[in-house]
Homo-oligomer: A and B are copies of this chain.
Amino acid sequence: MPPLPTLPPPSTPPNEKALAVLRAAAAVFLVHGFSAATTDMIQREARVSKATVYAHYPNKEALFIAVIEHECARMAATFRAIATAPNAISASLFELGRAYLQIVLSPIGLALFRVVAAEAPRFPDLGRSFFLAGPQNIAALVTSHIERAARAGEIDVQAVGVDAAAALFLSMLRGDSQLESLTHPDASPSAAQVDDWVRLAVTTFLLAFGKRAAKGAR
């Protein structure tokens, strides 16, 4: 009897310990930033010896880069999931906006932004990765949604163009909410507060680009 083939480890089997290191590193780097984080913290958080950390990553910088790239990929996957979700076709600006803001204002979203903004001068590639995985990704989503709405005659964005309209919508969403959350780390915004922000952005967007009926009816 041939031996039952043990389930072959997937192509790139991240070693169990290697994964523990990466997860621990994420936790530590996202809380303390690059410089204040120490390999000791990571080693302890991963319940692993210091040598094990260096067995999988050549140095602290490489580990940091791996962490941020990993988080960016997760963020990108989240946005792709929104894009391909069954309700995507009927997704309103409001739903899209709320999904975006919930990610941006989540503890991980804020921490990632803090770290990337702070370390972009030192790690320029990470700044670009973050921009592509997050803002760029969601902007493409919103743009296509706006394009559809424009073709359907629901809105008119000729004054600024589709891309700018999408960017402005996202800017209005992020604007104050992200700034307040970044500078007031104690207070986490409530779900109701988030909804208020989204409504405000949607209202203003439609005032600017909605068909005149919406405004004239007032």
On A, residues with C-beta under 8 Å from B are 31-36, 113-118, 120-122, 124, 127-128, 130-131, 135, 159-160, 164, 167-168, 170-172, 174-176, 179-180, 182-186, 200-201, 203-205, 207-209, 212, 215-216, 218
Is the contact region of chain A dominated by helix, strand, or loop, or is it mixed? helix
Other than the given A127-B184, A170-B176, 17 more pairs (CB < 8 A) read A34-B36, A35-B35, A114-B120, A116-B183, A117-B117, A117-B182, A120-B183, A131-B179, A159-B207, A159-B218, A170-B175, A171-B172, A171-B175, A174-B175, A205-B208, A212-B212, A212-B215
Give the CA-CA distance A204 to B118 in the complex, in Å. Answer: 31
**Min CB gap A162→B, angstroms:** 13
A201 contact set on B, CB distance < 8 A: 168
A170 contact set on B, CB distance < 8 A: 175-176
Give the CA-CA distance A171 to B208 in the complex, in Å. Answer: 15
Among A115, A122, A172: residue with most chain B CB under 10 A: A172
- Does the CB pair B124–A113 fall under 8 Å? no
**Min CB gap A189→B, angstroms:** 14
**Min CB gap A42→B, angstroms:** 15
- Does the CB pair B130–A204 fall under 8 Å? no
A31 contact set on B, CB distance < 8 A: 121
Give the CA-CA distance A205 to B132 in the complex, in Å. Answer: 27
